[in-house]
Structure 1
């Protein structure tokens, strides 16, 4: 072979190689990492970029689990880190995660919290000089082969408590829509329905760990998700609520949960997707589920599991008789607020309905939403 023919052959070989790289379709992978009672989601974008949505709780073992999981995927860099809102079960591990991986850009709700966890998170971003942005409704980010369309919040951030200030975004890949919702509640779901009446999704990350304060029936019926994933672990809140699971199943959605299924991995090609879980609800190993298959666990069994969990947490706290020590068991209620509750009922009489507790100074919708199903007046 003469030099000219060899050069031509090498050129053609190079072109074939380059063409094969550009035409071989890559898959999108979404990992709903089992972090117990919290959120952490890895998105491996089809173009090769990596996005982490939230960083689980602040417990060292949870943070180590996330970091080890990311390393198991051979990650060296997080191109985007999305912090949906500043509750500790969503940002608790982010400082250590930023220490462990190079982070390109942080997308944050912009909602300020007074916790030390949130303060440390902001300090770390500043120390590492990481690009920091606060997306708002209508903002779009083209990331490789995907687009992130932000649906919430709008510019009026002060109108929302911490949960309802969560970043809500649609991950669009090919013909598919994957919806990520943070911890929004029914108030924001109604707003989203009004603003996006034609929206349909293939998959939804169920808001607020399956709390009954979220998953407003009209919205779920409208968006018609095929698959619903609940990031949840052992908790005393009663999450996920049995009625919420039933609602999704009544709309034909398959429901997957980290507490029953372990890590949940969705692999998509832009038209179809599969769901792979570590274990089925009966703890037996389970293989890949396609978008048209049905989860092995029956609807009846899932509802039974949820009901049993709810029943275990059914020892309601009577806010008319509970001592300060008992009231202090409620999320966000310290000794000072517990004393305010007792003083309020001594001055104004017993509460006639649980919603009246929001009249006590220091108790807002966010706190009430955390434990409204844990209290009673009888």
Structure 2
């Protein structure tokens, strides 16, 4: 039988040891990197908790008030009080739409922006808000980098002026390094920029990639995916979106390269926690659960076809805001589309939209399967 007798001195020492171990454990947990891919429907919004109480928000979802409210609520639940950086990858509405409300709700240190000018009212309001709040505004370029918490951010694109890029390809692309791990954030870049990134970074391998452009088939070339060889691929995408994102062949490409694919439409909020060597992924719901739920509600082919037609944008009745969702269509071109249909009695076939000034074959081919005339 053991007889434990502790002197006051030994008791005090034991308490100090326990306190030290507890504090060390809490500090280690606090220093872990956490990346939250917030479920905002068809858009991007990513919270990076870089350790030491430092936070980065990458993009701000779409312009619907409900989306901004969802992001703000999510950030507050993570006890975020200050955003040290907002990284605005490019000025499409599904990436900057909620930023005005977010800036109203949190202290913001610096906004990092691609510098690509857009004619939309959403972009104008975003710039006005930054100016009103006197927030530091910078346009990083390839080679720029900074440290935050225990992480390093390095920008890989764009290389110089963005005048030669369209909105998607003007996206800020950056690498987040934490310990031995690398995480790549790609905005909405397409294959043209992917090729350039491969030439500049031929040996780059990453643990995680934020899949470019919501899994569109205009991005994620096979050479790009094979070279990066990601273990995780996260697609920020909304359920039943009329763009058809993500493309089935893109999802399969990542899977064939050994990546585990996560999607907001199937998994809800996706949180990756990393310690510099290992990572863990937590989701709101598993893919299998969501698949079973979907299959149990499968409708006849006729009903599915009707649903698909309802998801198309009717160019004879669509508002400016609806038309602005199409790739390469801003408010000015949307107004031209409306003027054309009013002056010509409407469109009789979708190809007729190419008669509108500013719409060429390239733009039409991007979304011809997403529009209708009835």
Q: Tell me the TM-score normalised to structure 1 length.
A: 0.78
Unpaired segments ≥5 residues, structure 2: 1-8, 299-303, 344-348
Q: Does 1:262 align with 2:244?
A: no
Instruction: Pick one of 239, 255, 280 that aligns with 2:286.
Output: 280
Distance 1:282 1:23 in 2: 35
Distance 1:371 1:248 in 2: 24
- In structure 2, the partner of 1:210 is 215
| Contact 2:336-2:356 within 8 A present in 1 as well | no
Query: 1:74: how far off?
Result: 0.7
| Contact 1:162-1:366 within 8 A present in 2 as well | no
Distance 1:277 1:112 in 2: 35
| Contact 1:30-1:267 within 8 A present in 2 as well | yes
| Contact 1:108-1:167 within 8 A present in 2 as well | yes
* Equivalences for residues 156-175 of structure 1 within 5 A: 156-175=161-180
| Contact 1:258-1:264 within 8 A present in 2 as well | yes
Distance 1:66 1:27 in 2: 22
Instruction: Pick one of 246, 254, 273 that aligns with 1:240.
Output: 246
Matched length: 336
Instruction: Pick one of 144, 149, 158 that aligns with 1:153.
Output: 158
Query: 1:281: how far off?
Result: 2.3
Distance 1:249 1:237 in 2: 21
CA RMSD of aligned residues (A): 3.7
* Equivalences for residues 73-152 of structure 1 within 5 A: 73-152=78-157
| Contact 1:76-1:101 within 8 A present in 2 as well | yes
| Contact 2:177-2:183 within 8 A present in 1 as well | yes
Distance 1:107 1:282 in 2: 38
Distance 1:327 1:96 in 2: 24
| Contact 2:336-2:357 within 8 A present in 1 as well | no
Instruction: Pick one of 344, 349, 357 that aligns with 1:361.
Output: 357
- In structure 1, the partner of 2:193 is 188
Distance 2:369 2:192 in 1: 17
- In structure 1, the partner of 2:255 is 249
Distance 2:36 2:235 in 1: 12
Instruction: Pick one of 218, 221, 229 that aligns with 2:234.
Output: 229
DSSP 3-state at the match of 1:45: strand
Shift of the 362–244 alpha-carbon distance from structure 1 to 2, 3 Å rule, reads same
Distance 2:340 2:279 in 1: 52
Distance 2:342 2:217 in 1: 27
Shift of the 87–253 alpha-carbon distance from structure 1 to 2, 3 Å rule, reads same
Shift of the 60–23 alpha-carbon distance from structure 1 to 2, 3 Å rule, reads closer
| Contact 1:340-1:361 within 8 A present in 2 as well | no
Query: 1:143: how far off?
Result: 1.0
Shift of the 274–87 alpha-carbon distance from structure 1 to 2, 3 Å rule, reads same
- In structure 2, the partner of 1:334 is 334
DSSP 3-state at the match of 1:334: helix
